[in-house]
Amino acid sequence: MDPEPSFEDTYFDYCPWDFARHASAAQRAAQDARQRGLAEAGARFGPRCFVSAAAGVFPDVLVLGEGSYIAGHAYVTGEVATGADCTVNPYATVRGRITLGDGVRIGAHSSLLGFNHGFAPDEPVHRQPLTSKGITVGDDVWIGSNVVVLDGVTIGDHCVVGAGSVVTKDLPPWTIAAGNPARPMRDRRAPAASRGGTQSDRTGDAVARFADRARAQAAELVDRCWNPVTGRYGDRPGAPATVRAHCDAVEISDLLLDAPPARLTAAAHAERLRSLQDPVSGLVPETASDGGPGALPAPAHDGWVEDGSAEYHVLAVGYALELLGSRFAHPVHAALRMTPDQLVARLEGLPWRSRAWPAGAWVDCWATAARLNHVRGAGSGAPGALEALFGWLTTRVDPWTGMWGAAASPAEGRLQVVNGYYRLTRGSYAQFGVAVPYAERVVDTVLDHARDPRWFAPGRENACNVLDVAHPLWLAGRQTGHRTAEVRAWAEEQLTRALGRWRDGAGFGFGPAGEGGGGPGREPGLQGTEMWLAIVWLLADLAGVADRLGYRPRGIHRPEPAGTPWEG
């Protein structure tokens, strides 16, 4: 006969499910004595229960159903009652008024906190009264490791709560939930065949199919926007030629084909874009009717030229030239010559309270100009100007929202402030690789905005508004895991919608009118295609499947920092 296996007492502290089968007579006697001691204080135990001697069990009421156990270093206090076959795993905390059904699994290091402190300002917290609504958990529930369940929550039968979640609200039966706060992800009853693998698998397969389709059609959709008469690009067939359309064509071809648009060589594309720069200001106005350089307004007293298109072209042309292996012919003098005092005065004068989007767009332009000037060896600007920019931004950010400008308005909600946040941080914090302030508050604010049906109901989204949510969530997500599951769920939903907008041979349309009525509309074109391709990457990365796309933006919407003046 084989000898009986030897199990030290500490083994059962961590693996109590083996106690009923493998404990020695002495170990069973010690367990019986442990339960009798607790019973003298009013506890009740069904058959085949186990309570580790290494657990801190100090209840007012304790009822363990048949086959239930409390593992080593668990902490159990208050009024706790379980059904049959319940497990409190090592280092779990179960406190307050807790009721568990049959077959409940509580993962290691999880906490069920069925009580709460008051926190009124008239007394220190340690003197505040305790309240207890209690926690109720149904039958057949799995609570993963490192989960926190707060007082007053009911978790329905057959639920699964993902590791690391914080459950703040009731969960209906059969819910699979995850995140902080925990959010329902799907119904556990959905048959495996209908699910077609995990959500990540399905999303990954969808983006891989999309990327193959887009690459196969990229040359066609760019070429359709070339006007052979003028020899220039318009946003779509029949549209006027613009600087942005040429830059979008370069971006799309680089992203999907890893080559410049076939109508010109890389050098010819670069020379055409370089020729459009105004040598005095260094800005790039819209082209004249003959395709040559356009005119700019007279500069303001600080040397800056007020022209929205020219400001955006600093970004569009600057990055397109880098993709073509080139750079601007001249420094962006309008930024290079601005002193720190002039910069701060202009920042103070931007319309943060009423029009945060154009305010953020100006910062995007100036900061991008500073980087481009540095790259071409002209320096980033007057001494101390870049430091003045980040100093001003850091001291003016709202710590409650993580934003700059008014938090919301009745007419637009958070549209202005969130869209302005994207433009501002794209050119400054993201471009230079600087951590954004108050990342968790950013996530809260942006997710709140993303629920506004005026901008995000199905069919109402445009490229500007979705990009201006996706990028801040991506950027802040590099610093915090705050509400990750919610961010991922939003990204997966928007990704599914975005992929459905692709038009074969034509690409993406921008969507309904954007900020200030802007944007080229719903018809497929170069601007919509360039922006949505970048959005798809951001959404796919938030959903954890960007590797399936086989592309990564390298131009104006690149995820990585573009290099900083502080680098050696």
Q: Looking at residue 378, what is its pLDDT? A: 63
Q: Looking at residue 193, what is its pLDDT? A: 42
Q: What is the DSSP letter of 545?
A: -
pLDDT digits (tens, 9 = 90+) for 248-278: 999 999 999 999 999 999 999 999 999 999 9
pLDDT category of residue 16 using cuts at 50, 70 and 90: confident
- Whole-Å CA distances, 1 to 4, 153, 377, 401: 9, 52, 84, 71
Residues 6+ apart with CB under 8 A from 411: none
pLDDT digits (tens, 9 = 90+) for 204-244: 899 999 999 999 999 999 999 999 999 999 999 999 999 99
pLDDT category of residue 303 using cuts at 50, 70 and 90: confident
Q: What is the DSSP letter of 198?
A: -
Residues 6+ apart with CB under 8 A from 37: none
Give the C-alpha separation, 9 to 26, whole Å. 10
pTM: 0.67
Q: Helix crossing, 415-425 with 463-477: angle to 10°?
A: 60
Q: Looking at residue 547, what is its pLDDT? A: 87
pLDDT digits (tens, 9 = 90+) for 119-159: 777 778 778 787 889 999 999 999 999 999 999 999 999 99
pLDDT digits (tens, 9 = 90+) for 98-117: 999 999 999 999 999 998 87
> Can you tell me the mean pLDDT for 451-480?
94
CB atoms under 10 Å from CB of 410, counted, come to 5
Query: 32: phi > 0 → left, psi -120 to 50 → alpha, else beta; which?
Result: alpha
Give the C-alpha separation, 180 to 183, whole Å. 8
Computed over every residue of the chain, the mean pLDDT equals 90
- Whole-Å CA distances, 123 to 117, 118, 126, 528: 12, 9, 8, 57
Closest CA to 76 of 50, 102, 101: 50
> Can you tell me the mean pLDDT for 526-547?
95
> Can you tell me the mean pLDDT for 390-401?
96
Give the C-alpha separation, 38 to 64, whole Å. 11
For residues 257 and 250, the answer to whether their CB atoms sit within 8 Å is no
Q: Which helix (H) or strand (E) holds 421?
A: helix 415-425
pLDDT digits (tens, 9 = 90+) for 304-342: 988 899 999 999 999 999 999 999 999 999 999 999 999
Closest CA to 421 of 464, 373, 378, 388: 464
Give the C-alpha separation, 411 to 422, whole Å. 20
Q: Looking at residue 189, what is its pLDDT? A: 76
Q: Looking at residue 187, what is its pLDDT? A: 80
pLDDT category of residue 567 using cuts at 50, 70 and 90: very low
Length of the chain in terms of residues written: 568
H-type alpha helices, 196-301: 199-223, 243-257, 266-274
Q: Looking at residue 196, what is its pLDDT? A: 53
- Determine the 3-state secondary structure of 438 from DSSP: coil
